[in-house]
Structure 1
Amino acid sequence: MATTDAGEDLLALDNQVCFALAVASRSVIALYRPLLEPLGVTHPQYLVLLALWGRDGMTMGELSSTLRLEPATLSPLLKRLEAIGYVSRGRRPSDERVLEVTLTQAGHDARATAERIPAQVVERLGLPMERLESLRDALHLIIAASA
């Protein structure tokens, strides 16, 4: 059995960063589910909207890169958001090969409802904002290190 100098089992489930990240991710995403119901979107679709609220009119490639999703994963999310009226997909007039994703008026309007979500998540987590910001920063370091 592989152990650390302190005698801890290196393969113990509770010692795994991947396990802690997976459980935390599922738990936090579950907090979002009821908060996203008024918008009628799933958490992955919400992430697409967040990206577009930050910068409307991204190409499929830019959106894929921003969200770190494969186009094959992103495409069904966009189709659903288009079906519910939040986004529009179309060819860029300056280059017909490029698919551009833009928010519709309903997509822009949905932002007002979404602006209440972060505070509600913070409240439900019950952690001080400083700890959440520190956690977010640490996760960004992990993302950068694994890229």
Structure 2
Amino acid sequence: MDDFLTLENQLCFAVYEAGSQFNKLYSKALESFGITYPQYLVLLALWEENGQSAKELGEKLNLGTGTLTPMIKRMEASGWVKRERSTADERKVCISLQPKALEEKEAIVQKIATELKLCNIEYEEYKQLMKQLRVLRGKLNIYNKEKVK
């Protein structure tokens, strides 16, 4: 059991380290497009469903308004997205893709795919890792929801 308390045997640290390595990989791949990894996540969410409210986008990405709003403003200034207030409800801000985001989508996706292939992660391995991470995330969500009660 003493072995459990070493840093290298901590699941949380392994996930943290893997996340850090993914951040580096994506940051390098996205650099030529002038976007950051978190901005890429915004684009992914909008490519799936364009025209989301800032609130919906924040919930989907698990980002608070203090993080999301300045990021969206930078993306708007760079021509990736646009913000528009809802005419039905002035409190609601809708985020939509600009033509640049649609035009660059294929090149961005291709660049990320190329970088992932260079990591030697086979497709079946990728699918298995995703499955295991979804199960882990689900268990942690249940735990955290129960602790909030």
| Structure-1-length-normalised TM-score | 0.89
| Structure 1 consecutive aligned stretches of length 4 or more whose deviation exceeds 4 Å | none
Q: Greater share of helix residues, 1 or 2? A: 2
Corresponding position of 1:121 = 115
Query: Contact (CA 8 Å) 2:26, 2:112: kept in 1 or not?
Result: no
Superposition map of 1:1-147 within 5 A:
3=1, 9-147=3-141
- CA RMSD in angstroms comes to 1.3
- Structure 1: tracts of 5 or more residues without a match: none
Secondary structure of the equivalent of 2:93? strand
Aligned length: 141
- Give me the identity figure in percent: 35
Q: Which AA in structure 2 matches 1:130?
A: E
1:11-55, Cα deviation, whole Å (9 max, x unpaired):
111110111001111112211222102211010110001100110
Distance in structure 2 (CA, Å) of the matches to 1:86 and 1:127? 30
| Structure-2-length-normalised TM-score | 0.88
- Structure 2: tracts of 5 or more residues without a match: 142-149
Distance in structure 1 (CA, Å) of the matches to 2:112 and 2:138? 24
Secondary structure of the equivalent of 1:93? coil
